[in-house]
A = this chain, B = another copy of it.
Amino acid sequence: MNTILVVDDDKRINELLCEIFTMEGYNVVSCLDGEQAIKEISENPGIDLMILDIMMPIFDGWEVLDYVKAHFDIKVLILSALVDEQSEVRGIRDGADDYVFKPFKRAVLLERVRRLITEKHNENSCDLICDGLVLSQSKCKVFIDSEEIKITIKEYQLLLLLMKNAPTVLSRDNILSRIWGLEYDGNDRTIDTHIKMLRHSLGGYGVYIRTVRGTGYSFDSEVDKR
Is A98 located at the chain interface by the 8 A CB criterion? no
A150 to B93, CA, bound (A): 34
The residues in A between 58 and 109 inclusive whose CB is less than 8 angstroms from any CB of B are 60, 62-63, 66, 84, 86, 89-90, 93-94, 107
A81 to B188, CA, bound (A): 46
Task: State whether A168 touches B138 (Cβ < 8 A).
Answer: yes
A161 to chain B, nearest CB (A): 15
Stretch at the interface among A11-19, A36-44, A197-205, A214-222: A214-222
Q: Which residues of B contact A222 (CB under 8 A)?
A: 148
Query: A148 — nearest CB in chain B belongs to which residue?
Result: B224
Task: State whether A140 touches B110 (Cβ < 8 A).
Answer: no
A115 to chain B, nearest CB (A): 10
Q: Mark A129-161, 1 if CB is under 8 A from B, else 0.
A: 000000000111000000010101100000000
A167 to B139, CA, bound (A): 6
Contact of A107 (CB < 8 Å), options: B86, B93, B111, B218: B86
Question: 7 smallest A-B Cβ distances: which pairs?
Answer: A25-B62, A138-B168, A140-B169, A153-B214, A140-B212, A139-B167, A153-B213
Q: Which positions in A face B, CB cutoff 8 Å?
A: 1, 23-25, 60, 62-63, 66, 84, 86, 89-90, 93-94, 107, 110-111, 114, 118, 121, 138-140, 148, 150, 152-153, 167-169, 212-215, 218, 220, 222, 224, 226
CB pairs A–B below 8 angstroms (9 shown): A24-B62, A84-B107, A86-B111, A139-B169, A140-B215, A148-B222, A148-B224, A152-B213, A153-B215
